[in-house]
Amino acid sequence: MNYNSLNHFLRLLLLLVLCCTIGLTACEDDLAVPKPHAYPRVVYPTKAYKPFGANYCGFTFDQPVYSIVEKDSTFFDQKAGSDCWFNLTVPSLNATIHCSYFPINSKTHFDGLVKDAFEMVNKHNVKASFIEEIQFQKADHKVYGMIYNIEGPAASPYQFYATDSVRHFLRGSLYFRTQSRPDSLAPVIAFMKKDINRLVETLQWTK
């Protein structure tokens, strides 16, 4: 091999080594940089409402048109306290508002229902980072109650009860059929909170 050939060969070898070094460095950089979390795209339905008109309940409210009413007889391990137990399900968001109604039969019964509602919320204290209690009242329609805004990785991030303190007691809890991270669910939770607030604001007893 003459001098020119050897020189040409060494240049090619040096170029090959340089390319390999750059390639390995790029691969290491890719491995070192964490990939951002990819959240599935959520398509939100257009906000619109219609009257809730189940004939087995003695009240009405503004129900999201994109929700489905499913009559229920149990809530987890608790049997129905009346014929007016139902779920408002939003399939597109994997969301369900579990609603249970109790006719009040005494002051002692009423106090027990309020205590049960508080204990349902308190079960989430283990995982909740903060629980905000929001009191509401509509004296003109005799609707009073409490909304519980539960922050953190709790199973139910939003709950409420509404009552007239004498005859009617309605309790609701928001749940999701998904294992998504709390931060990825935050926009969906915010969307559903508006529907629950609308429910509470428009609730009227009809019996």
Q: Classify 49-205 by CATH class.
A: alpha beta
pLDDT score, position 162: 98
Report pLDDT digits (tens) over 140-196. 999 999 999 998 888 899 999 999 999 999 999 999 987 666 678 999 999 999 999
CA angle 115, 161, 83 (to 5 degrees): 95
Q: Are 119 and 141 in contact (CB under 8 A)?
A: no
**Rounded Cα gap, residues 146 and 70, in angstroms:** 24
Report pLDDT digits (tens) over 83-142. 999 999 999 999 999 999 999 999 999 999 999 999 999 887 677 788 899 999 999 999
pTM attached to this predicted model: 0.77
pLDDT score, position 79: 65
Report pLDDT digits (tens) over 48-99. 999 998 899 999 999 999 999 999 866 555 666 689 999 999 999 999 999 9
Domain boundaries, the chain: 1-35, 49-205
pLDDT: is 102 or 1 the higher one?
Answer: 102
Largest CA distance in the chain: 110
**Rounded Cα gap, residues 112 and 106, in angstroms:** 10
Beta bridge partners of 161: 146, 171
